[in-house]
Amino acid sequence: MKAFEKLQALQAELNQIVVEREVQIEGALAALLAGVHVLFLGPPGTAKSLLTNILCKALDDAQYFQWLLTKFTTPEELFGAYSLKGLQNDEYRRITQGKAPECHILFCDEIFKANSAILNAMLTLINERIFHNNGRAVPAPLLSCFAASNELPQGEELGALYDRFVLKYWVRYIDDDQNFFDLLNGTCGASEPRTKISLAEIEQLQKAADKVTVSQDIMTAIREIANELRGKGINVSDRKWKTSVKVLKALAFLRGQAEVTADELEVYADMLWQNPEDRKTVLDVVSPRSNPLNAKAIEYLDQALEVYNIWKKNPEDDMQSAQTNSALKAMLKEIDELAKDRPAAKVKKLATTRERCKKMQQEIVAKMLGK
């Protein structure tokens, strides 16, 4: 099996193992191809570390290092203890074997609990792929750093670290009932991918992704997005704009394309915000230049979940059940109208939203009928 076919097979397997994380899985794979870092935000127990663990198991010969950070975490825990023999010779040399400086995939849980003793070394490691050891700048083999946090960073000293994570995703609890039952039965997240990809194949895929072209039209659209966001008070560094093109290329490659299309621009909604409330603003700016149907899919799903979760608090209320059922039926009708006579590739996310809305409605109807 060729490297790209393996990549596609791996993505499909990951979607089966870690359910309702399609966007995050695609982003994680794109991050590997682009050599950027990913931050997963959300409440505890939403499979943030599970996704990274399973992904790493698919990389045949990769070194993986994972650590839960607290305010008491010491540099030795992440970067290795000082060599006793070295100290005898006035050398401050850390033994880095099996630690973060020698890993290909780094996962930092509760990343923003890092203290000042760790921050500077962490920044150099993930940004420059260098670890300073006994006065020497030692190259690090790091492909991507994945991090998770239950909260946003507090304090200016964490701002630089936060900015190094190009992709930022909010991870929710499982919504779908069947997926939740699979979780309870132990069939969700219980296996690991059969498909294995070597580091040599990852390097091959990275080079291929970098050859994806970006047209002048896409460049112009990016410039328009930057200007409009600046006008709305959202300023993005030149460094991040440059890095973002690598992500667009990786995403297009992952989707089997030789050129970045307008659809890939939607990923900016997971790259350009600093405060969570800014994400909708970014999405509103990006959507008209990308696939507006995807934005509508997200909007409908948010609306559906809002009315469904209100109903779940009191499913015995017949009036509430009828109103929620009516609201979901109206959404389904609007979705069908939007998707009518459009290419399947353009309405893929809309179709997924429709499926989830339909399941919510069926559950409500079954409850009303006493099933």
Is 166 within a domain?
A: yes
Residues 158, 21 share a domain: yes
Two tokens at 96?
């880095």
Confidence class for position 10, pLDDT limits 50, 70, 90: very high
Mean pLDDT calculated for residue range 296-324? 90
In a domain, 206, yes or no: no
154 and 239 belong to one structural domain = no
Amino acid letter, 163? D
Average pLDDT over residues 205-210: 96
- Residues 228-242 have a mean pLDDT of 92
Same domain for 298 and 195: no
3-class SS of residue 370:
coil
**Is residue 131, in this structure, part of any structural domain at all?**
yes
- Asked which of 165, 200, 235 is the last residue of a domain, the reply is 200
Please indicate, yes or no, whether residues 298 and 285 belong to a single structural domain of this protein: no
- In terms of domains, do 259 and 127 share one? no
Residue 16: count of CB within 10 angstroms of its CB: 10
What is each CA distance from 196 to 9, 27, 184, 368, in whole angstroms?
A: 10, 19, 28, 47
Residue with tokens 């994680």: 28
Would the pLDDT of 177 be above 80?
A: no
Structural domain count of the chain? 3
Tell me: do 277 and 263 sit in the same domain. Answer: yes
- The answer to whether residue 105 is domain-embedded is yes
235 and 87 in a common domain: no
Helix (H/G/I), strand (E/B), else coil: 148: strand
Residue with tokens 């009036």: 319
Mark whether 361 and 232 lie in a shared domain.
no
Of the candidates 200, 234, 254, which is a domain's last residue?
Answer: 200
Could you tell me the residue range of the domain that residue 282 belongs to? Answer: 211-289
For residue 42, what pLDDT is reported? 86
Q: What percent of the chain has pLDDT over 70?
A: 98
Does any domain span residue 50? Answer: yes
The pLDDT tens digits for 248-307 are 999 999 999 999 999 899 899 999 998 888 988 998 899 888 877 887 888 899 899 999
Co-location of 186 and 303 in the same domain: no
Specify whether 317 is located in the same domain as 333.
yes
Structure-derived torsion over alpha carbons of residues 181, 182, 185, 186, reported in degrees to the nearest 10: -140
Do residue 305 and residue 275 come from a single domain? Answer: no
Report in angstroms the alpha-carbon separations of 364 from 156, 177, 320, 371: 47, 12, 10, 10
- The pLDDT of residue 250 is 97
The set of residues, in sequence order, having a beta carbon less than 8 Å from that of 179 and lying 6+ positions away, is 19, 20, 188
CATH number for 116:
3.40.50.300
Which of the listed residues 241, 268, 289 is the one where a domain comes to its end? 289
**pLDDT beyond 90 at 18:** no
CA distance 253 to 204: 12
**Looking at residue 108, what is its pLDDT?**
93
Letter for the amino acid at 342? R
Specify if 352 maps to a domain: yes
Residue 357 has pLDDT above 70, yes or no: yes
Sorting pLDDT into bands at 50, 70 and 90, what band is 138? Answer: very high
Q: Are residues 112 and 231 in the same domain?
A: no
Flag whether 324 is in a domain: yes
Q: What percent of the chain has pLDDT over 90?
A: 53
